[in-house]
Amino acid sequence: CRLSSALHSRTPSPVQARIKRGLRKTQNEKYRLKYLRLRKAARAMIFENAALCDEVAHLEEKFLKAKEERRESTVHQDKFLMCIQYITWSIKLILILIYHDVYCIV
């Protein structure tokens, strides 16, 4: 008697089986929706990360270009200053020679 009642209590009734299947379906649907939300969020983060990487690469390129231009500008500026100094020294030398020649002639 006990054995038959134990077997009977372990096998669910058709109504209980339907309820469990219904709960299982709703739980599966719940986790499926969670999975889809997480997947969508992960995808959005990947795209955002890619956009940020592109932006960083663009800014780094811009920075290096500006740095190179500044270096070239400094080199050109130094060359220009040397030319100005050379011209100034040449003019001074010419003036000295003219002044010296004027006083030598007199």
Question: How large is the average pLDDT for residues 25-54?
Answer: 91
Query: What's the CA gap between 97 and 103, in Å, rounded?
Result: 10
Check pLDDT > 90 for residue 94: no
Range of the domain at 43: 2-105
CA contacts within 13 A on the Cβ side of 103: 5
How many domains, in total, are found in the chain? Answer: 1
Which residue has better confidence, 66 or 15?
A: 66
Q: Does the structure show a pLDDT above 90 at 38?
A: yes
For 52-93, the pLDDT digits (tens) are 989 999 989 998 888 888 888 887 888 888 888 888 888 888
pLDDT for res 43: 94
Q: What is the mean pLDDT of residues 15-23?
A: 64
